[in-house]
Amino acid sequence: MITLANSLTVEKVSLTYPRSQFPSVSEISFNLAPSQILSIVGKSGSGKSSLLRAISGLERPQEGRITLGETLLSGPGKFLRPDQRKIGLVSQSGDLFPHLTIAQNVTYGLKKWRRSAKKKRCLNLLEAVGLTGLEKRYPHQLSGGEAQRVALIRALAPRPALLLMDEPFSNLDTMLREHLRRITVEVLRKEQTTVLFVTHHPYDALAVGDQVAVMHHAKIIQYASARTIWENPASAEVAALFGSINEIQNSEGKSGPPDWLRSDQITLGSESPECLAKGKITAIEFLGSFQQIFVQPDDQSQEIKIKVPASQSYNLGERVGVRRNP
């Protein structure tokens, strides 16, 4: 059920660990509406997990306020313990209890529920993630993807006001991660759960989040929809997180800093005055469905990388013009 108790407000939160001269979280503010999913993405050390620890109650911020619904979790003179916050957590490793069956793991947080309600909730969640019939197994009898699904539904079982997910797919290979990502989003939508999803993988962030927050050096440097983040990054740091970027100065020269464009935002063609740059091809990499072309601009600026279809033919030393994609 969607209620105001599922909304999250973070106001100017800062966290610095003991013996550290730099903050891990610096004056972060945002609002997360009930049943919405926020992806928090950034490089290692950007402060993502520290922010989650502050929200969960595992760390106490030195400044700012954190409110879940109408409940102040952390602020001046107030700090609730993690077990008082009605927050679920899914970690990178899953952390299932090895001595408990899958059913016992899933219902671990349902101690006050009636036995029949526990069983129904467990079976419904197992069905939702495609694990029907595995309730009597133990964690060591599961694959990595199955264990991660059990960790997800164990956190969801008590219907937390907020779910925190810390790099839940990082230990999985690409195909399994994509499969589990789809299942996870479907279950979260069905449960109408408010979620903070932390990842260093940019495409997981785009695929999962209604909104995406990009962290860099302990701060959120852009907070927007996935499409806005991709199409209109606020800075070169944001653009670079989603793939290598090119700094391109117009071939006729212009004032101000150069444009920064991803390799899929530009293409090759014949030389002409309107080209972003002109130069010759210095390397060609065949990468299956596409090839990566390296062009050295005539002005001796940074080498440019362009992705083009594998069906297009280019030669080393060939002169080309670099254009923005239509």
Q: Please report which confidence band the pLDDT of residue 265 belongs to, taking 50, 70 and 90 as the band edges.
A: confident
Same domain, 168 and 270: no
What average pLDDT does this structure show over 9-30?
A: 95
Same domain, 187 and 283: no
- Residues 41-70 have pLDDT tens digits of 999 999 999 999 999 999 999 999 999 999
- Residues 116-128 have pLDDT tens digits of 999 999 999 999 9
pLDDT at 140: 95
Of 221, 240, 259, which closes a domain?
A: 240
| CATH number for 292 | 2.40.50.140
Same domain, 236 and 251: no
Residue 1 has pLDDT above 50, yes or no: no
pLDDT at 170: 82
Same domain, 205 and 301: no
Domain enclosing residue 318, as ranges: 247-324
pLDDT at 3: 52
User: Is 33:7 a contact under the CB 8 Å cutoff?
Assistant: yes
CA distances from 272 to 277, 314, 317, 323 (A): 9, 18, 18, 9
- What is the C-alpha to C-alpha distance for residues 54 and 75, in angstroms, rounded to an integer? 11
| Bridge partners of residue 284, in order along the sequence | 293
| CATH number for 117 | 3.40.50.300
Q: Please report which confidence band the pLDDT of residue 36 belongs to, taking 50, 70 and 90 as the band edges.
A: very high
Of 240, 259, 277, which closes a domain?
A: 240
Residue 23 has pLDDT above 90, yes or no: yes
Same domain, 125 and 232: yes
Q: Please report which confidence band the pLDDT of residue 4 belongs to, taking 50, 70 and 90 as the band edges.
A: low
Same domain, 178 and 60: yes
What's the predicted TM-score (pTM) here? 0.86
Residue 252 has pLDDT above 80, yes or no: no
- Residues 204-230 have pLDDT tens digits of 999 999 999 999 999 999 999 999 999
Nearest to 56 by CA among 18, 26, 83: 83
Same domain, 22 and 169: yes
Q: What is the percent of the chain where pLDDT is above 90?
A: 74
Same domain, 266 and 194: no
pLDDT at 7: 94
Q: Please report which confidence band the pLDDT of residue 295 belongs to, taking 50, 70 and 90 as the band edges.
A: very high
Same domain, 227 and 252: no
Mean pLDDT of the chain: 91
pLDDT at 297: 92
Same domain, 168 and 276: no
Burial group, residue 184, by CB count within 10 angstroms (0-12, 13-18, 19+): buried
Of 192, 225, 240, which closes a domain?
A: 240
Q: What is the percent of the chain where pLDDT is above 70?
A: 95
User: Is 268:322 a contact under the CB 8 Å cutoff?
Assistant: yes
- Residues 145-197 have pLDDT tens digits of 899 999 999 999 999 999 999 998 887 788 888 888 999 999 999 999 999 99
**Total number of domains constituting the chain:** 2
Q: Please report which confidence band the pLDDT of residue 263 belongs to, taking 50, 70 and 90 as the band edges.
A: confident
**Segment among 60-64, 81-85, 253-257, 276-280 with least mean pLDDT:** 253-257
pLDDT at 251: 45
**Segment among 240-249, 280-289, 297-306 with least mean pLDDT:** 240-249
User: Is 107:123 a contact under the CB 8 Å cutoff?
Assistant: no
pLDDT at 254: 52
First CA to last CA across the chain, in angstroms? 44
What average pLDDT does this structure show over 33-37?
A: 95
Same domain, 83 and 133: yes
Same domain, 109 and 254: no
